[in-house]
Amino acid sequence: MRVPNFSYTLPLLTLSASGQLFGGDLLPLSDPANQGGWVLNTELSDEFDAEAIDEERWFIVGKFKDGKPVYKHPDKPGKKVWIGRAPSQFSGRNYRLEDGMLMLETRWEPDFPFSETPDKPWGKDGTRSKYENLTTACFIGRKFFRYGYMEIRSKAADAEVTSSFWAMGDGVEFDLFEHFGDHRQPNKLKLDRELWWSIHDWANLGGKTTYTEHHDLGFRVADDFHTYGIDWSEEGVKYYVDGKLFTEASREKINAWAKAKGFENGYVITSPISIWLDQETFPWHGVPESKADLELNSPAGKKDDGVVDFAIDYVRIWQKK
């Protein structure tokens, strides 16, 4: 669960009568015949094959100015955005475009100008509240949308960091996946194969989980590229992996799960959201303690650059007319 300390309002994309916001012949991997009547939203989707990131499409957290990262609200300059979970901190330098892909980087970077303000402490002893050593990346979609089919082809970083595809809306959080590429704790070794998706209510419950699922994908998320597709509608969520239906949860099922936990409503993701792509440290799962530790699983020839990558081939969003 994240602890974002801001909200912002940006344009909501809707279908125009002429369909001018949309185009392209790409279709969801799970629906090649387009029985769902999907239309690609080109203002939300990104193939990452340009020479530079479209910063009208993505807000890059922690871009540098005068030698320091700046964490200004994308829409309200006087307000700050979340800088990441300690010990890692978001850096606007931690990305590159390579071979038609977006590479989000976690770096071993002890000389980074880290924030001196402690993060929310984790654990009974308050450990890991200091920002130090590790920098990560965070991209936030600048445009909001309501309902659609979200698809990403990606490979998680093979390290003790998350590689995440998620979304925030007005008081809600929709975690599509939070892959932790290399679990090393003895009781968690199989979690590098885990699909974990969830819904959180920030407006009424302080971010408590109103629905979640944990599944074994049958493969390590950091070993190869896979395609994850999420059909999000008024009726609920259908989750596809490599084009096949993997799990689904109706609105009724989600609400029943929440009520069993004592919450009135579980399906709170009914308002517009924007996509987030990021890497974070989860101290309760383990944190890299050195550059060599971060790069333990890096391929030969790349074990000394202090960088591990969350590789994203594309992000595509379809909606219906």
CATH code at position 121 = 2.60.120.200
Kindly give the pairing relationship between strand 194-201 and strand 134-136: unpaired
Answer yes or no: is 106 within a domain.
yes
Answer yes or no: is 11 within a domain.
no
55 contact partners, CB below 8 Å, separation of at least 6: none
Question: pLDDT tens digits for the chain (321 residues)?
Answer: 444 444 444 444 444 333 333 445 899 999 999 999 999 999 999 999 999 999 999 999 999 999 999 998 777 777 789 999 999 999 999 999 999 999 999 999 999 999 999 998 877 667 789 999 999 999 999 999 999 999 999 999 999 999 999 999 999 999 999 999 999 999 999 999 999 999 999 999 999 999 999 999 999 999 999 999 999 999 999 999 999 999 999 999 999 999 999 999 999 999 999 999 999 999 999 999 999 999 999 998 888 999 999 999 999 999 998
Answer yes or no: is 2 within a domain.
no
Answer yes or no: is 1 within a domain.
no
CA distances from 9 to 12, 20, 72, 76, 271 (A): 9, 23, 14, 10, 12
- The C-alpha atoms of residue 134 and residue 114 are separated, in whole angstroms, by 9
Answer yes or no: is 116 within a domain.
yes
Answer yes or no: is 77 within a domain.
yes
Domain range for 123 is: 38-320
Scan for tokens 């308050």, then name that residue: 126
Q: How many angstroms from the chain centroid is the CA of residue 156?
A: 11
Angle, vertex CA 251, rays to CA 245 and CA 253, nearest 5: 80
CA distances from 239 to 37, 141, 165, 176 (A): 18, 21, 13, 9
Domain count, the chain: 1
Answer yes or no: is 121 within a domain.
yes
Answer yes or no: is 88 within a domain.
yes
